[in-house]
Amino acid sequence: MVSILVALLCCLIGMALGFIGRWIYAKSQLTSAEQNAERLTKEAVIKAETQGRELLLETRDKLLKEQQQMEREARERRSELQKYERRLQQKEENLERKQQEIENDLKQLSDRNGALVQKERSVQEKENSLIQELEKIAGMSQEEAKNAIIEQMQQKAHHDGQVYINKIEAEARLSADKIARDIIVESIQRLATEVSSEVTTDSVSLPSDEMKGRIIGREGRNIRTLETLTGVDIIIDDTPEAVVISCFDPVRKEIARVALERLVQDGRIHPARIEEMVNKVSKEIGRIIVDEGEKVVFDLGLANMSPELIRALGRLHFRTSYGQNVLLHSKEVAILAGMIASEVGADPELAKRAGLLHDLGKGAETESEANHAELGAELCKRLGEDSKVVNAVHAHHQDVEPETIEAIIVQIADAISAARPGARRESIDNYIKRLESLEGIAKSFDGVDSAFAVQAGRELRILVNNSTVSDDGAKDIAKNIAERIEAELRYPGKIKVTIIRETRIVEYAR
């Protein structure tokens, strides 16, 4: 019995000791878990704070970049607005100045008209009184005195005319060789043709229509950057896989075309890349311009040509007229002019130089509204070319009178180069329609008897009725016809309107 009690007591003691051990072990495990949980919590807090700071910095950088971009766009818009404001202000000032000048001219004309009326009355009264006094003194009527004076003038004119004819014949015998050359040249000069027009657009092929969106860019930044840097207009329409480049300056158009083609091939189209590509292509085109100018000068054997003239010649390499390259046309004119000058005894080197430079104004970098003959003459004069060369360049489309035989030869060579078969693409139908339109506009005015388009449409000669149109009326008709031509027709160069009003008296000797 005692042993059973001892055994039970031992079991109870063992159970108590086991419970106490498990309790101590569980408590130690709980303390370790709490420590791990506290450590993980601290690490999570530290990591969260680090990520929060990084996210804050990243957000701040994005906001800063967007703010800078918005500031750049705002500056660009302010710059454009300032440019528009300056242009409007200049136009307003020009309009005010012109209006003031017109008012002053009208006032002066009114004053002059009043003075002229008074003078005409005074002159008429004096003329009547003088006629009466002369009739009394001479003892004959006004009609009798007029017939006597006419008879004396006829006799004197006949004598003076015979003397003048004899003088001309003597001078002709002394300068027969020069006169013969002039006659030959003036006969060939009738082959003159019109001024050619300029091709102002070009197209760039695209691999797909999706490229159009990349060319335009976000809010139009890419296309605006390309247009600003090159000075061209880029037209993106419904034409599949193509964009159109439009510009009156062929060099800028070529720079824009090459740059856009390379950007499309490269695929990286953004403002910085566009600026880099445009600068690179501009340098390449500049080298090509100089090389082409130097090449044509070397081929013709011309010396002492200034670098600016060579550069202006090189720009002609990118200009075409009716499909004819202007630089090759100028070279051809120079060769023809040299050959003709050698045949007629003129200066072949002078003719060749003037022939090469005759279309130089088409390559001049200027915004002047003058035609290319005037621009070329001004450029040649400024760069020290001979006055004969300057005159030949200015006169090759008959804007001024030619002063030398070489100037006329340049006109002939220019006409031959433009008129030879296959040189230009203008159809005869368009040419005839333009001449018919010119004559039709002139004939639509009252008082016009006939009209003739001459010099390949560069001049319109009009005969008016002498009995119904006065001198002042002829001036008004010429002005109105010129305005109608400017408003209704498209044509290259200038059109000269010449009004002819004459009195014809015909007598027959029976």
Residues 67-83: tens digit of each pLDDT: 889 988 888 888 888 88
Query: pLDDT per residue over 426-453, tens digit each?
Result: 445 566 677 778 888 888 888 888 888 8
Q: Token pair of 359, please?
A: 């279309």
Task: Check residues 50 and 32 and name the one with the higher pLDDT.
Answer: 50
- Residue 329's pLDDT is 83
Confidence class of residue 323 from pLDDT cuts 50, 70 and 90? Answer: low
**Assigned CATH for 199-313:** 3.30.1370.10
Residue 247: Cβ-neighbour burial (10 angstroms; 0-12, 13-18, 19+): buried
pTM for this model (two decimals) = 0.45
Mean pLDDT of all residues in 243-254: 78
The single-letter DSSP state of residue 445 is S
Average pLDDT of the chain is: 78
Decide: helix, strand or coil at residue 450: strand
Per-residue confidence (pLDDT) for residue 181, from 0 to 100 = 55
Classify strands 320-321 and 324-325 as parallel, antiparallel or unpaired. Answer: antiparallel
Higher-scoring residue by pLDDT: 216, 322: 216
User: Which three-class secondary structure state does DSSP give residue 234?
Assistant: strand
Residue 193 has pLDDT above 50, yes or no: no
Q: What is the pLDDT of residue 213?
A: 81
* Topology classification of domain 319-426: Hypothetical protein af1432 (1.10.3210)
The pLDDT value recorded for residue 196 is 38
Quote the pLDDT of residue 493. Answer: 66
CATH of domain 428-500: 3.30.300.20
Compute the average pLDDT of residues 245-251. Answer: 75
**CA-based end-to-end distance of the chain:** 193
- The answer to whether 403 and 388 are in contact (CB under 8 A) is yes
d(CA 86, CA 88): 5
**Can you give the pLDDT at residue 319?**
76
Across residues 347-373, what is the average pLDDT? 77
Tokens of 59: 């957000």
